[in-house]
Amino acid sequence: MEKVVSGIRPTGNLHLGNYFGAVKSFVKMQDEYNCMFFIADWHSLTTHPKPEDIQNSCRTIMAEYLACGIDPNKAPIYVQSDVKETLELYLFLNMNAYLGELERVTTFKEKARKQPDNVNAGLLTYPTLMAADILQHRAQKVPVGKDQEQNMEMARRCARRFNNIYGVEFFPEPQNFYFADKALKVPGLDGSGKMGKSEGNCIYLRDEDKVITKKVMKAVTDMGPQTPNSQRPEIIENLFAFLQLCDDQEAYDFFDEQWNNCTLRYGDLKKHIAADLVKTIAPIREKILAFSGDTQLLDKIAREGADRARESAAATLQEVRKIIGFR
């Protein structure tokens, strides 16, 4: 059975982009693959979170993972910092990574632009830590969003370069994994191309029904269709994307026809989308609240997941040391 590994940074609550872009796929994969899912708290240090936020955020993400349907009996869930072996492999991979290629990574350049006073070494070597997360389990597949595709290419490069330098075929080159034909991008409600915490355009899995509706009704639109069968601008195409995510083809076709004959009323479209999202999120939110109240269970699942992850990582690292030449 092929190995799959993936993680999410604990930078607050999960939003619809996380859910549709990653976690929903995780739930499907746990029955078909040998999966490991983790909470990437070391990665979060690139933005210098407060100490109290790290532990609270890890428990938050754990509760949300469980509420979305990830079963720790099928797929271990662990906290990244509980597996110290990751750091040693991270060191080895950094020794074979080059400054120029790390500086060319799009996510590094974007983060450096957004936080010019905090362009730290961890931010630069984010791709090699991500590669260590993956390669320590010798994973073959990694479910990723569109923004992580370049980092995945770096992970493959790390595996390929290690194999070439030491003349082995040890690390598989992990492949991007999508349940759809391509990486899924969940749009923001502010007219931007992607939903994200830093953009402030998210709908969270913990949001109450009224909050969801209010956010959708404030979504950016334009004057409406002026010419029959015209191409939709991006801000309107983003709204139709929610229909594809949460509703059936019949609903999409209904509003698509209204667009094409210039009778579409954005208020009606938004109300329909809001109802769809409430229907999707409400049962998840109730489970999140239930799991969040049982911190002993959350910590137990994290400990057991870390034990299984360390066993996998330690076996890999033992072989890596031999290959490199360390006793």
Give Cβ neighbours of residue 325 (< 8 Å, ≥ 6 apart). Answer: none
8 A C-beta contact, residue 301 and residue 266: no
Q: Mapping DSSP to helix (H, G, I), strand (E, B) and coil, where does residue 214 land?
A: helix
8 A C-beta contact, residue 180 and residue 186: no
8 A C-beta contact, residue 151 and residue 130: yes
Catalytic residue among 146, 185, 194, 271: 194
8 A C-beta contact, residue 106 and residue 64: no
Q: Mapping DSSP to helix (H, G, I), strand (E, B) and coil, where does residue 35 land?
A: strand
Task: Confirm whether 214 is a catalytic residue.
Answer: no
d(CA 122, CA 44): 10
Catalytic residue among 111, 141, 215, 270: 111
Task: Confirm whether 109 is a catalytic residue.
Answer: no
Pairing assessment for the beta strands 34-39 and 3-8 based on DSSP bridges: parallel
Indicate the Cα dihedral angle 212, 217, 218, 223, nearest 10°: 150
Among residues 222, 229, 228, 226, which one has the least CA distance to residue 269? 222
Give Cβ neighbours of residue 195 (< 8 Å, ≥ 6 apart). Answer: 15, 16, 17, 186, 187, 188, 189, 201, 202, 203
d(CA 40, CA 27): 18
Task: Confirm whether 111 is a catalytic residue.
Answer: yes
Catalytic residues: 111, 194, 197
